[in-house]
Amino acid sequence: MYLYALLLMAFVGLVNLAIGWLLGRLWPHGGAKTLSQDKLRELTRQLAEQIACVSRDIQHHRGQIDEAHQGLLAVHEDEGASMPLLLASVAEIVRINAGLQSKLGAAEETLKEQGRQIESWSVQALTDPLTSLPNRRAFDDALARRLAEWRRAQTAFSVILIDADHFKSVNDRHGHFMGDFVLRRLAEVLEASTRKMDLIARVGGEEFAVILPSTPGPSALRAAEHCHAAVAAYNFRHEEVELHMTVSVGLASVARGDDDESLLRRADEALYAAKHAGRDCVFYHDGLHIERLGAGGASGDSSCTKDSTESPDVAFGGTGDLDRVCRELSDRAAQLFGA
């Protein structure tokens, strides 16, 4: 009997450890409270009450078993004890055990249901509700695991950052419903354009990220160009609205000494280069240089498509920026001094 009770107490301890681990994984690190966080806190309270109740039942059960055990010893020592008294003691032990088993059965069902809620909410906590892709937190967790694997076994991987070009104009011209439609379809196109082992996440408003496991530079370049071309070829049509969307893409592969900040910074610099070059193109940061990949824009020319809102002589890495700044300063001086 004592062994049975001790095993039950060990079970309760393991449940407590599992709950602690889950809450450690799911608990928010800063930021505003959300509904899911409130649900998790409420579930924590319920679980704590359930564990406390089971613990009390076990303690009570041990006390009752001790009393029944003492009764059996008294019957054994009393040679004149009657059979009805012995049967009554045994029946009491059976009743006590049956009562505890019933309570434990109910507690087990409650814990199973709460476990299902934890699993459901843990998925929600790592999922973008609009696209059903992993969210930024899931991406950060996956990136940390890949970096740990890289440090341990030098398993190469790459990161792609993808930004929908001129997305604000979609919302402004066609409304947020159309914007949401475009984001959902972009998620589908990216999923269809990558491998099942790759992780695609929505990490910002119109920004997506892809982790390419076991993918060094040359293979990652082809994957980035494939994603870029797939979006350009897709027809974003909803009811009477038909859009041609393009994306700017930045790519970086893990290198010696990288952490999550340095790797993402290189990918982000490559993405910025793609935007600065006119969007609708792919740039790669090899750790030393940022280079354009492929044939560039949808027209298939040898340079990225220029953005009509930018000065035509602005090019990444060229002298256009300096010329533009000089012209702006000259114009401003003319306005101030009446030249």
Supply the residues annotated as catalytic: 206
Please name which of 140, 96, 154 lies closest in space to residue 264, comparing C-alpha atoms: 140
Which residues make Cβ contacts (< 8 Å) with residue 258, sequence separation at least 6? Answer: 147, 150
What does the DSSP assignment read for 193-238? HS-TTSEEEE-SSSEEEEEEET--HHHHHHHHHHHHHHHHH--EEE
Cα angle: 254, vertex 26, 7; to 5 degrees: 115
How many CB atoms are closer than 10 A to CB 79? Answer: 6
Helix axes 217-233, 176-193, angle to 10 degrees: 140
Which residues make Cβ contacts (< 8 Å) with residue 219, sequence separation at least 6? Answer: 158, 212
Helix axes 136-153, 260-276, angle to 10 degrees: 120
